[in-house]
Amino acid sequence: MADAECPECAGIIALAANVEVGEIVSCPDCGCKLEVTVVNPPAVQKAPEVQEDWGE
Ligand SMILES: [Zn+2]
């Protein structure tokens, strides 16, 4: 079990022991989407917003 810090709200994000680089996790505090960039030590960055621009 490892923890990373949310870059948005500095909240602690619990990561699974088998988390992999590139996984998308959600911050339990602010709800933003974060991408795992490093696993040892664990670090995350804000995941790019997926723009659903399909011209609905
Ligand atoms: Zn957060």
Task: Give, in words, the CATH class of 2-46.
Answer: mainly beta
Distance between Cα 11 and ligand 1 center (Å): 5
Give the Cβ contact number of residue 25 at 10 Å.
19
Close Cβ partners of 16 (under 8 Å, ≥ 6 residues apart): 1
Distance between Cα 12 and ligand 1 center (Å): 8
Q: Where are the domains of the chain?
A: 2-46
**Which residues have beta carbons under 5 A from ligand 1 (an ion)?**
6, 8-9, 11, 27, 29-30
pTM over cut 0.75: yes
Tens of pLDDT, residue by residue over 38-56, are: 999 999 999 987 777 888 7
Give the Cβ contact number of residue 23 at 10 Å.
16
Tens of pLDDT, residue by residue over 1-19, are: 589 999 999 999 999 989 9
Distance between Cα 23 and ligand 1 center (Å): 16
